[in-house]
Amino acid sequence: MGIDQARANRIFLPETYAEGVPYELFRELRAEAPVCWVEEPAVGPWPAGPGYWAVLRHADVKYVLRTPELFSSHLGATQIRDPGTTADLDFARTMMLNQDPPDHSRLRRAVAAAFTPRALRELTVDIERRAAELVAGIAPSGEVDIVPLAADLPVWTLARILGVPEQDRQLLVDWSNRVIGYQDPDHARSSTADPSRLTAMGRDALGHRPADLTAPDGRPLDPRSRAALADMFAYAHALAEQPPPGSMVARMREAGLSAAEFETMFFLFAVAGNETLRNGLPGALYSLLTHPEQYRLLRRRPELTGSAVDELLRFWPPVIEFRRTATRDLVLAGRPIAGGDKVVVYHASANRDGTVFPDPDRLDLTRTPNDHVSFGHGPHFCVGAQLARIQMAAMLRRIVAAWPEPEPAPGPPPPRLVSNFQNGLKELRVRR
């Protein structure tokens, strides 16, 4: 069945998501063409791309994610936009996120020890204490912006895991903003770390930050390239010279990773390790505030926190999509796909598939089972998923217990991140 190409292209355009995730459009496309062709028009300074196949149904999304022999993370990496140069692609391919088994499995084993049940139990005590401190530090009435409050916990936790000193935590925020928010002018050049508060290692890293984000050929510098993140990699290598015992950086050194593998593993944790929850927590709170009956239910029944976390992740998926590349000619949902074509799975669409989730547009904190794909599926299922759940549950319990009837502050809807990859809020003012 033919579809209006301009309508399908809307799911690629970053400005679409500045207005909200287009769930109605996803629903229509799932019914009309659940695997459909999407063009990549030029966006601002970023050139047009060759286009891709969008995968929108829950079953098809899971099939793509669990079949790396057909849909590779390695061939073209996992972002819709192709890396700018062959060197950028080669560098991206060293990242665990952008590898297929068995290489992916080797790298995953190198960091899995940080997420064992025992390690998570030890972290949980400190996470609960930190969440309590954050919520207790807020005035009992008035307005508060939830976004920086929510960002603090995952960044604090990540710094502890990596071994980043407390003084340098804000560097993690800037690196994440620049990588994830490169399509958003408020985030693309993020520089919020105060040099006077950084360690000597942090101040030295700032000296490596590129002043010019333009590549030699005049195109924008790839925000995920070694050149664009020279300051982050300089910091990572400096930290690795004397890593805190037991830290993730120490484990990376002990695992015998190559220099490029070490850099991209640090990149993965420094960015993805906090950005998903930085977007997920404000999204979860906003979802509850706009469904006050569900907020009251969670307040009455805190034992629902576990199912609430999964439902909120389904309802507000922090990651909108991920890319794969077809390894050969194949057919998916009746569509012929050529080897080498981009194939992009939309978590946000799969999570609202009515064939899997009854009344999918309804927020239901008692929903079970809840087969959402917000943490992915298959060999790339998020290694830090349980840690993310622990942090979200800790913040939700504290906020709901402390604030009887909060509501969004008067005014326009909260501003959203301009991104076709991350589903985030830039501000969420709440009145208590």
- What pLDDT is recorded for position 150? 85
- What pLDDT is recorded for position 224? 83
| Beta strand ranges found along 295-387 (DSSP E) | 321-326, 330-332, 335-337, 342-346
Give the DSSP letter of residue 43: B
Q: Using one digit for the tens of pLDDT, what is the confidence trace for 68-96?
A: 999 999 999 999 999 989 999 999 999 99
- What pLDDT is recorded for position 179? 87
Q: What is the mean pLDDT of residues 237-244?
A: 95
- What pLDDT is recorded for position 399? 95
Residue whose tokens read 């192709």: 82
CA 374 vs CA 321, 344, 422: distances in Å: 9, 14, 11
- What pLDDT is recorded for position 245? 92
Q: What is the CATH number of the domain that holds 346?
A: 1.10.630.10
Q: What is the mean pLDDT of residues 283-301?
A: 97
pLDDT at 180 over 90: no
Q: Greater confidence, 3 or 368? A: 368
What's the rounded Cα separation, in Å, for the pair 222 and 220? 6
What's the rounded Cα separation, in Å, for the pair 318 and 305? 18
CA 381 to the chain's CA centroid: 13
pLDDT at 381 over 80: yes
Of residues 63, 13, 21, 18, the one with CA closest to residue 41:
13
What's the rounded Cα separation, in Å, for the pair 333 and 346? 15
Q: How many domains does the chain have?
A: 1
What range defines the domain where residue 35 resides?
5-431
- What pLDDT is recorded for position 211? 85
In this prediction, residue 110 has a pLDDT band, given cuts at 50, 70 and 90, of confident
Read off the pTM: 0.95
% of the chain at pLDDT higher than 70: 100
What's the rounded Cα separation, in Å, for the pair 199 and 187? 24
% of the chain at pLDDT higher than 90: 80
Residues 6 or more apart whose Cβ sits within 8 Å of residue 280: 312, 313, 316, 318, 374, 388, 392
Contact 192, 174 (CB under 8 A): yes
What's the rounded Cα separation, in Å, for the pair 398 and 374? 23
Q: Greater confidence, 211 or 385? A: 385
- What pLDDT is recorded for position 27? 98
